[in-house]
Amino acid sequence: MHKIIKMLKAADDVYIMEFEASRIAKAFKPGQFVILRVHERGEKVPFSICDVDKEKGTVTIVFRKVGKTTEYMSKLESGQFILDATGPLGQPSQLLKIKNESKEKVLFISEDSASLRIYTELKCLHGNNVHADALLSFKNKDRLMFKEEISKIANKTYISFQDEDGEYNGNIDKVAKHILENEDYTLVVCMGSVKMMKEVCEVTKEKNIKTIVSLNVLMLDGTGMCGACRVNVGEEIKFACSDGPEFDGHLVDFDEVMIRQNIYSSFEAKKKYRAQHAGNEAAVEKEGC
């Protein structure tokens, strides 16, 4: 059992949870994740670790309310408990190898709630005196999250709103292209939706800037047993949970990632639709569910 220390609502559907897990906190390295099972009948769900406090023995995650498990989690309060926490899992970030003498200049690009997922790696580079900036992209101003936390450890923080026009607003690929044309970055780290990561990689590949992406969006069981997160990376078969979740974005077959992701999201979408239209057989038949 793991006690919830803090539960915060960052946006309408985004939550931050800090819970006790001393062993995980002590062993954690940036880039790794944790698997939670919140109650006896609950499924095992992987979550990126967004921060740890080794002294307090706590782990912090951020999640969106998108399915049955996260909806249940969103109703939990400080002082309550989650049943199981397994981790840290996955490979540590490649960024741990970067030191000040390397003269790297890094740009983190994140989307929506993923803006807190970049925190541990950005914090690591900040501690090693490596220049690192952050581009945080949101749909609109109502979705703005984690600006203060990121700004404290980033050399420069760009805020972009997709629904507005302006120098740093609009589609993320357009904004990224503008920034990369005016700044001399040697590495881009991208976390968010598969569509966004693919678009950013198309920009950085054209400019020959190495790009790291996180494919945790594919993971189901988090151990490599189910095969759901299988992906082609440079014509090699990899598993996001055991070989990643971070990979060279220019080698990832994003079309395959999208197809694999849609296989599971389709089932979830149909299940949700049936629940919403229970008893309305005509509507279900019309939608082909």
pLDDT in tens, 40-91: 988 888 999 999 999 999 999 999 998 889 999 999 999 999 999 999 999 9
Q: Which residues contact 267 (CB under 8 A, 6 or more apart)?
A: none
Q: Which of 41, 71, 89 is the last residue of a domain?
A: 89
106 in the same domain as 79? no
CATH number at residue 75: 2.40.30.10
Using CA atoms, how far apart are residues 101 and 40, in angstroms rounded to an integer?
49
State which of 67, 89, 111 marks the end of a domain. Answer: 89
SS3 148: helix
Q: Do residues 140 and 211 both lie within one domain? A: yes
- Domains: count for the chain: 2
HEC assignment per residue over 214-270: ECHHHCCCCCCCCCCCEEEECCEEEECCCCCCEEECCCECHHHHHHHHHHHHHHHHH
Lowest mean pLDDT among 159-163, 215-219, 229-233: 215-219
pTM over 0.85: yes
Same domain? For 137 and 116 the reply is yes
Residues 109 and 252 placed together within one structural domain of the fold: yes
Q: Is residue 267 part of a domain?
A: no
Give domain status of residue 172, yes or no: yes
269: in domain: no
Per cent of the chain over pLDDT 70 is: 89
Identify whether residues 110 and 183 lie together within a single domain: yes
Q: Same domain, yes or no, for 233 and 189?
A: yes
| Half-sphere exposure for 269 (CA within 13 Å, toward CB) | 9
What pLDDT shows up at residue 75?
96
213: domain CATH number is 3.40.50.80
Question: Which tokens sit at 276?
Answer: 């919403």
Q: Is 223 among the domain residues? A: yes
Same structural domain for residues 103 and 84?
no
pLDDT of residue 187: 97
Residue 286 has pLDDT above 50, yes or no: no
Residues 7 and 60 sit within 8 Å (Cβ to Cβ): no
Residues 45, 72: one domain? yes
Torsion of CA 187, 191, 195, 199, to 10 degrees: -20
Assess whether pLDDT exceeds 70 at residue 287: no
Which residue blocks in the chain are alpha helix, DSSP H? 22-27, 68-74, 119-127, 147-151, 172-182, 194-206, 254-276, 281-287
| In a shared domain, residues 112 and 211 | yes
32 and 130 in a common domain: no
The reply to whether 289 falls in a domain is no
72 touches 38 (CB < 8 A): yes
Domain contains 167: yes
Cα distance between residue 263 and residue 258, in whole Å: 9
On whether both 16 and 117 belong to a single domain, the answer is no
Model confidence over 225-257: pLDDT tens digits?
777 788 899 989 999 888 999 999 999 999 988
Domain that holds residue 75: 2-89
* pLDDT confidence band for 166 (50 / 70 / 90): confident
The reply to whether 103 and 74 lie within a common domain is no
